Amino acid sequence: MKKRFFIAGTDTDAGKTLVTTGLLTAANRRGLRTIGLKPVAAGCEQTPDGLRNSDALLLQQAASVKLSYEQVNPIAFEPPIAPHIAAEQEGRVLTADRLAAYCRGTMMQPADLVLVEGAGGWRVPLSMRESLARLPQLLELDVILVVGMKLGCINHAILTAEAIARDGLRLAGWVANQVDSDMSCLDENITTLERLFRAPLLGRVPWLESPDAEQVADRIDLNPLLGE
């Protein structure tokens, strides 16, 4: 049975892409067919092939099902700013319905695990009328939360989990990703979140000098996601 999840973060730079590529790599090791999507990305570079986002390229590379870049990242903006502001500057209309349509088309590809990575935090706006949180609602995706472990992360994590539940979605699991190399009381913070969250901790990613998907995959437990 195909497993599909939305990857959310407690904030920008929480490590969503790093963890997503780690999850994909861990699934690849099991021989699963994997897909990684980044429906909307800001902060892209102009290339001879068009706009390209570094995070989306990492997802494209990490997935075992090879897709075109446009399938992985259908909506791309050059400036590294909030997607709704980038869309306004270009006179484009950005809607969750449109993003969901792109995702549904790609999700028709045969795959065992599909991961849809968000942008920024849970409530990042697509417009003044809706946020990106509407996308996992439309696609009926369970959520994996990447908690960027730093001072203040407990509050961010709890608020995000509450918003996910309020939106009628299930938190399937979470990953503790250390983004502050000198974070005080790291273990105590993780233990606190373990006690407060009902969802399982899928992995602890320490601060890494040169992080990559393989190192993250070594620290990920897929069993709670796959029902094993």
Q: Which of 3, 38, 66, 150 is catalytic?
A: 38
DSSP 43: S
Contact 93, 87 (CB under 8 A): yes
Q: How far apart are the first and last CA of the chain?
A: 13
Helices (H), 36-152: 54-62, 69-72, 83-90, 96-107, 134-139
| Angle made by CA atoms 130, 134, 138, in degrees to the nearest 5 | 140
Biggest distance spanned by C-alpha atoms of the chain = 50
Q: Which residues pair with 112 in a beta bridge?
A: none
Question: How far apart (Å, rounded) are the C-alpha atoms in residues 50 and 47?
Answer: 5
Which residue, chain included where needed, has tokens 């809607």? 95
| Angle made by CA atoms 144, 94, 52, in degrees to the nearest 5 | 70
2 noted as active-site residue: no
Question: How far apart (Å, rounded) are the C-alpha atoms in residues 82 and 215?
Answer: 30
Catalytic residue numbers, as ranges: 38
